[in-house]
Structure 1
Amino acid sequence: MKTGNDISINVVSSTVSQSDSSESGKKTNKDLNSNKKSIWTRLPIVILTAIFCCTLWGSASPAIKIGYELFAIAPGDTPSRILFAGTRFIIAGIMVIVFGSILQKKVLIPKKSSILYILVLACFQTILQYIFFYMALAFTSGVRGSIINAAGSFFSILLAVYAFRFEKLSVRKAAGMLIGFLGVFLCVTGGSASFLEGGFSIQGEGAMLIAAFASAVAGCFIKLFSQKENPVILSGYQFFIGGIVMSIVGKLMGGNLTIVSAGSIPLLVYMAFISAGAYTLWGVLLKYNPVSTVTVLGFVNPVMGVILSAIFLHEGAEALSIYTLIALVLVSLGIYIINKKSK
């Protein structure tokens, strides 16, 4: 199981993979035979598309930090951060619903009985997760944020085993979880003063851990709710409703988005596409391939987050730090082990 972030791969990819797994047993022989003929089952296409999705998700941290500059949002301006996030997810929700409707050749409308599910998901997957995620990126680097956010994949194992009782803790998953948490621990607390840039902070690293935990909770909820409702409908509408709530709250608190560059609006649209586009493509891969074949590639997500932060946020020195590299290897290895198919 993975969650992320969007938001990522930490939320969106894990929830789809879980729900797809529950549905895969219901596929008929005819469905499986038709899937084999699809271009989406070709290994090079699967690998390239999965890497593209992980690149989109990995670009979230640098995109948000760049957005703070393009919309003149100061680190302490919480209302504007919430408004910024809310606007993004209103657009993302519309995109997911539109993309999903096109793929399924019908307008996706939730059932009345699904309204409560959508509200619960909007609370955890969008509102709680991204209030803390956006706060964290105002007080920590994109490199550390990308690594720490991967903790959602490991939190989700604990929740699935001990809170939601979805599965039992296997030796393989326990090993992957421990290795991954070790990488997160090293990133949060270990190393040198230059690596930690002054040490652990509640607003930075602490907020990112809370965001990762919220995404893990959302992943478990959508696995539960997707037994009764289309997961695309659940995610699309929860993005939209969560975005509206955040935008209203941010505006009432005095938030404001000031366009200071011609790139402000294109960046906002791109950030919405990160959620909607990657979610849709990842869902297509899961539809035509075994879940483990797709989810095992999720280890690319934190790698791309670190690489893109180094390139676009000029955090190359931190990205190449020995502590960052060790933490990144441990986190990525943990994700790979957790999602690797058992023989």
Structure 2
Amino acid sequence: MPNTAPLHLRLPVSFYLQVVICAALWGSAFPVIKNSYAELSLNHYGEQLIFAGSRFFLAGLFVLPFCRGKVLPKLKQAPRGPLIAIVLGQTYFQYVFFYYGLNVSTGTLAALLVGAGSFWWMLLAPLILKTAPPRPVHWVLLACCSLGIACAVYQPGSDLQNAGLGAAAFLAASFSGAMAATFMKKVAPVSGSRTPTAFSLSTGGLLLLLTAAPFWTQYIASFNLTTLLVTLYLAFVSATAFTLWNRLIEHYSINVLASFRFLIPLMGILESTLFIPGENLRPGLVIGAAVVLSCLVISSRVKEAPLEGRLIRP
């Protein structure tokens, strides 16, 4: 008889540990970045992009020593199109949109909407990796997730224009990240996961720095020890979380990992509420978060087809 045990019972303890570490680290980034805007006087979007670019460039350098073998030969072996997609999706466009969203909206909303990228994965994987398309139940869950997002965004008496812009930016960021993660499945078997991760973080960081070049003088003038320490911490978060997560992408199917992404919005909402002054769990946000997280959990229980349910070993 075929093994009908739930997928999550067949995963090793190390898998759960790495997923929890990634979720906790990424969750901590939301309040740290949002609080840094005020504490470091990063009032302009251009300065915030320099802040982001510095973080990711350093993160790429942090990962570089852990790349096995020679970096350049591995990058030359990687398929060019997917590698460029990883650089632009994982680091550049994802954080152009993400930092703009944080500039006009809240950390809790960021955690909720970026974490909903599991559904982007479901839509992109069949197109790029030729996996099984989503089942009808997933379209129902996707519609419910959209209602939950609308509920989370709405706040009586608030500036709905800013909330809408923030929501659009976060959804675009999650789409970019999902695109990069999907293409990582094409690159990792050839070059491993660490080398393209280091290349993506450092190159994407440089692109962000170049994009915000007119604001370098203003940013350097206000640079201090606190800015350095916060940048180093966020670089550590990115280096560790992306290395672990891309390593998981290398060894497990996209559908397996999409099932566990609900931990990211859960940790992000919790940590943003605890550590960002003035961000409270409004009724709309609580209901919206409950709907989105419930959809993600339900999705993790029903979506595995027999072939996609197997672990992909190197």
Q: Considering the TM-score relative to the shorter chain, is it more than 0.5?
A: yes
The equivalent position to 2:241 in structure 1, one of 278, 281, 291, is: 278
Within the candidate set 300, 306, 309, 1:339 is matched to 300
Determine the structure 1 residue equivalent to 2:219.
256
Q: Could you give the per-residue CA deviations for residues 65-124 of structure 1, whole angstroms, max 9, x where no partner exists?
A: 1222343211xx22212211111110111222333x2xx4x3444332435543332222
Note the 1:158-169 alignment, pairs <5 A: 158-161=123-126, 165-169=130-134
Residue number among 298, 302, 308 corresponding to 2:261 in the alignment: 298
- 3-state SS in 2 of match to 1:217: helix
Match of 1:94 in 2: 61
Q: How many residues align?
A: 291
Distance change >3 Å, CA 157–CA 335, structure 1 → 2: same
Q: What's the % identity of the aligned pairs?
A: 24
Residue 241 of structure 1 deviates from its aligned partner by: 0.6
Amino acid at match of 2:290: V
Question: What's the CA shift string for 1:113-137, capped at 9, x where partnerless?
Answer: 4355433322222111111110110
SS at match of 1:193: coil
Report the equivalent of 2:193: 231
Report SS of the residue matched to 2:261. Answer: helix
How many Å separate the matches in 2 of 1:211 and 1:286?
19
Relative distance call for 1:248 and 1:204 in structure 2 (3 A) is: same
Q: What secondary structure is seen at the aligned counterpart in 2 of 1:72?
A: coil
SS in 2 for 1:169: coil
Between the aligned partners of 1:258 and 1:147, the Cα distance in structure 2 is 34
Determine the structure 2 residue equivalent to 1:24: none
Q: Does the C-alpha gap of structure 1 residues 96 and 167 become closer, same or farther in structure 2, counting only changes over 3 Å? A: farther
2:295 is the counterpart of 1:330: no
Letter aligned with residue 331 of structure 1: V
- Aligned partner letter, 1:50: V
1:221 aligns with 2:188: no
1:141 positional shift? 0.9
* Matched AA of 1:121: I
Under a length normalisation based on structure 2, what TM-score does the superposition of the two structures give?
A: 0.79
Q: Which whole-Å CA distance do the structure 2 matches of 1:146 and 1:227 have between them?
A: 30
Structure 2 counterpart SS, 1:90: helix
Structure 1 Cα separation of the partners of residues 39 and 266 of structure 2: 25
1:313 aligned onto 2:280: no
Q: Which amino acid aligns with 2:41?
A: A
215-224 or 87-96, which moves further after superposition?
Answer: 215-224
What's the TM-score, normalizing by structure 1? 0.73
CA contact (8 A) 1:70 1:261 kept: no
* Greater alpha carbon shift after TM alignment, 299-308 vs 327-336: 327-336
1:281: how far off? 3.5
Q: Which residue of 1 aligns with 2:231?
A: 268
Q: Which residue of 2 aligns with 1:10?
A: none
* Structure 1 unaligned blocks of 5 or more: 1-35
Give the conservation status (yes or no) of the 8 Å contact 2:77–2:191: no
What secondary structure sits across from 2:212 in the alignment? helix
Per-residue CA deviations over 1:211-261 (Å, capped at 9, x if unaligned) read 122222222322333344323222220111111121122124556245566
Residues in 2 aligned to 1:284 and 1:128: alpha-carbon distance in whole angstroms:
21
Moved more, 258-267 or 308-317: 258-267
Q: Deviations over 1:276-311 (max 9, x none)?
A: 112333456677888877654321211111111111
What one-letter code is carried by the residue in structure 1 that aligns with 2:122? I
Mark the CA change 1:284 to 1:242 in structure 2 (over 3 Å): closer, same or farther.
Answer: closer
Separation of aligned partners in 2, 1:203 and 1:166: 33
Tell me which of 153, 165, 190 is aligned to 2:118.
Answer: 153
Q: Distance in 2 between matches of 1:235 and 1:282?
A: 10
Q: 2:152 aligns with which of 177, 187, 195?
A: 187
AA at the equivalent of 1:217:
M
Which deviations, in whole Å up to 9, do the C-alpha atoms of 1:152-200 show, x marking residues without a partner? 2212322333576433122453344333333222223x4x415xx3214
